[in-house]
Amino acid sequence: MIPIVRRSAPPLIALALVTGAMAWPRAAEAKGTLFLLELNTGISESPYVEGGPTLSYGASAGVTVRVPATVLRLHLMGTVAHRAGTVAGIHAGTTYLAERSDLDVYAGPRLVLPVWRMIRIYGELGLGTRFSTSMLQRGDGLGGLNGRDRRFLVVTALGIQARVTPMLSVGLRGELAPLTAAPDLATFAADLSPTQNRLTGMATVGVHL
């Protein structure tokens, strides 16, 4: 049941965006606002190749600047996002459970292009830090291992947004973060493979002030 809902959700949201654009064309012509607060949640790839999809969520806030002599708008955004992952298996004849939690803190520009009525598309680039906490539980009386790490982070994102009202928008967003992957505790102790180019798909709700 859950996989069916996951597969059908993006087309349904896209249909809602198009229908909304036809029903409320004035919302797309709303004057630019000064501030944006955005909440998002969705599905992210596991930090390990061997793991399955996991929940991701976060919040962004920023200021808006209209690019002179164009229809483009520039948001200067700051974001806090959480991603996690769990993998269980057997390594060298011993069972293990690996868990990792990533807290991403980054900032950067988002360039927005109005394309049709209330519909907008955007690209975003963020630079910041990823704070990781990892735990590895092992069987056969080997006990557990814990680790913490902090690394430089690059985030790229593409999104589509519908300005439902002058103060409210909804949309879809795809992220790629980080562009590279580094080994961690579970990589060494359980021979797990870190995920390169980790993808995240999210639904967003924005408040414009």
What structural domains and CATH numbers belong to the chain? 2-208 (2.40.160.20)
pLDDT of residue 162: 95
pLDDT of residue 75: 95
pLDDT at residue 17 is higher than 80: no
Q: How confident is the model at residue 58 (pLDDT cuts 50, 70, 90)?
A: very high
Chain centroid to CA 49? 18
5-28 average pLDDT score = 50
| Interstrand relation of 168-176 and 143-165 (parallel, antiparallel or unpaired) | antiparallel
Q: Which of 36-40, 90-94, 100-104, 134-138 has the lowest mean pLDDT?
A: 90-94
Give whichever of 22-26, 41-45, 46-50, 135-139 has the largest mean pLDDT.
Answer: 41-45
CB atoms within 10 A of CB 175: 25
Q: Which residues neighbour 9 within 8 Å (Cβ) at sequence distance 6 or greater? A: 203
Q: How far apart are CA 112 and CA 61, in angstroms?
A: 15
pLDDT at residue 51 is higher than 90: no
Q: What is the pLDDT of residues 163-193, one digit of tens each?
A: 999 899 999 999 998 766 667 767 766 677 7
